[in-house]
């Protein structure tokens, strides 16, 4: 910047004014400074700027798993809102690793970002609380955090209930839940919702087929277990904790010669793009991913800009059921 000032024949302060309050500078000097900047290829030094001025104009989202399409859609929603407010968004991938998560949180705090959005790895929010206590605004995404924190979630109990209700209405009385481990809050809530709906209907209680993880391979394994049951005890419908499981389950059914939805109806969760693209398009519980992200970003902006007393809010969205061929007998070819 010193060089720019020298080349334009003005003082340091004037260059700074051109950059920050151009209306205070005369036309002539503004031009000279701008052309000097251009000629020298000058690039503002953001760290120095921040040191003096404050704001970093940057938000960060610590993602649980970038490989999961659900989270990347949420991230897109966040970015949209951030961009509208003139802020940049950095994505950090914790990869479900608590150590990496806190590594990134430390870094972001040191970097003095304007605020942090996070889908935390576990249920222990100690690191997050520390961050917030020291003054960095934090919003939890797809994870509740009590009244002293902003959060945005989707009602998983309702989602479970929607799925089970739909299966009951299409005539199923023997329903299995496929998913796990139940220590994941989302899984537990979805089971709970399904159980409630079934209790209301008064039919046979929900069977839970626990899986070790929420991926395609586990879905296939669950498919083997279901197919191995005697017809009399085999469920006529399966509600999967997410679409990856549902896809695996569907694939295994086809392989073993069982028909979907005739022999087994399937409901997934998340409504990822591949759910519709499956050979038998999957009925799935859809979450407003985009809106989830956008709302989270807006809460964060509100918290970070709100001068003094900001009221923490916990926003809960409702999921929706998307019915497709995997449960709908009439649309079968």
Partner DNA sequence: GAACGTCCTTGAAACGTTTCATCAGCTGGC
Partner DNA sequence: GCCAGCTGATGAAACGTTTCAAGGACGTTC
User: Which residues contribute to the site for DNA (CB under 7 A)?
Assistant: 1-2, 10-17, 19-20, 24-26, 28-29, 42-45, 48-49, 51-53
Secondary structure (3-state) at 171:
coil
Smallest distance from a second copy to CB 62, Å: 11
183 binds, among a second copy, DNA, none (CB under 5 to 8 A by kind): none
Provide the token pair at 80.
């949209």
Residue number, 50 or 72, with CB nearest to DNA? 50
Query: What is the bridge-based pairing of β-strands 237-240 and 138-141?
Result: unpaired
**Residue whose structure tokens are 């036309």:** 27
Smallest distance from DNA to CB 33, Å: 9
List the one residue from 39, 277, 316, 329 that touches a second copy (CB under 8 A): 277
For residue 200, state whether it binds a second copy (rule: CB under 8 A): no
For residue 286, state whether it binds a second copy (rule: CB under 8 A): no
List the one residue from 1, 7, 19, 72 that touches a second copy (CB under 8 A): 72
Provide the token pair at 285.
């519980």
For residue 88, state whether it binds a second copy (rule: CB under 8 A): yes
Residue number, 32 or 324, with CB nearest to DNA? 32
CA distance 266 to 285: 11
Q: At 88, which helix (H) or strand (E)?
A: strand 88-93
43 burial level (CB within 10 Å; 0-12, 13-18, 19+): exposed
3-state helix, strand, coil in the chain (%, to 5): 50, 15, 35
Smallest distance from DNA to CB 87, Å: 17
CA distance 239 to 233: 16
Smallest distance from DNA to CB 55, Å: 9
List the one residue from 273, 307, 308, 311 that touches a second copy (CB under 8 A): 273
Partners of 154 in the β-ladder: 317
Smallest distance from a second copy to CB 226, Å: 17
Residue number, 43 or 273, with CB nearest to DNA? 43
Smallest distance from a second copy to CB 58, Å: 8
Q: How remote is the C-alpha of 160 from its chain's centroid?
A: 19
């Amino acid at each position: 910047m010193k060089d720019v000032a020298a080349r334009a024949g003005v003082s340091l302060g004037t260059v700074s004014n051109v950059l920050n309050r151009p209306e205070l500078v005369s036309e002539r000097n503004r031009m000279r400074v701008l052309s000097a900047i251009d000629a020298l290829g000058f690039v503002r030094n953001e760290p120095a700027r921040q040191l003096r001025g404050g704001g970093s104009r940057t938000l960060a989202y610590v993602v649980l798993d970038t490989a999961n399409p659900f989270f990347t859609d949420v991230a897109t929603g966040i970015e949209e809102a951030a961009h509208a407010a003139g802020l940049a968004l950095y994505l950090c991938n914790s990869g479900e690793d608590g150590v990496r998560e806190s590594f990134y949180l430390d870094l972001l705090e040191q970097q003095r970002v304007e605020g942090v959005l996070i889908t935390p790895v576990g249920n222990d929010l100690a690191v997050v609380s520390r961050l917030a206590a020291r003054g960095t605004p934090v919003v939890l995404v797809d994870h509740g955090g009590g009244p002293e924190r902003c959060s945005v979630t989707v009602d998983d109990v309702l989602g479970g209930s929607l799925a089970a209700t739909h299966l009951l209405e299409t005539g199923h009385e023997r329903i299995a839940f496929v998913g796990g481990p139940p220590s994941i809050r989302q899984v537990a809530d979805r089971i709970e919702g399904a159980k409630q709906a079934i209790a209301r209907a008064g039919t046979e209680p929900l069977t839970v087929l626990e899986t070790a993880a929420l991926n395609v391979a586990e879905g296939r394994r669950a498919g083997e277990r279901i197919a191995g049951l005697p017809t009399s005890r085999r469920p006529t419908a399966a509600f999967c904790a997410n679409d990856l499981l549902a896809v695996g389950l569907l694939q295994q059914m086809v392989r073993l010669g069982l028909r979907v939805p005739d022999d087994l109806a399937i409901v997934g969760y998340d409504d990822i793009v591949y759910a519709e693209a499956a050979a038998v398009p999957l009925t799935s519980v859809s979450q407003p991913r985009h809106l989830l992200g956008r709302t989270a970003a807006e809460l964060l902006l509100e918290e970070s800009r709100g001068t003094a007393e900001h009221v923490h809010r916990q926003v809960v969205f409702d999921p929706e059921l998307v019915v497709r061929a995997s449960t709908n007998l009439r649309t079968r070819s």
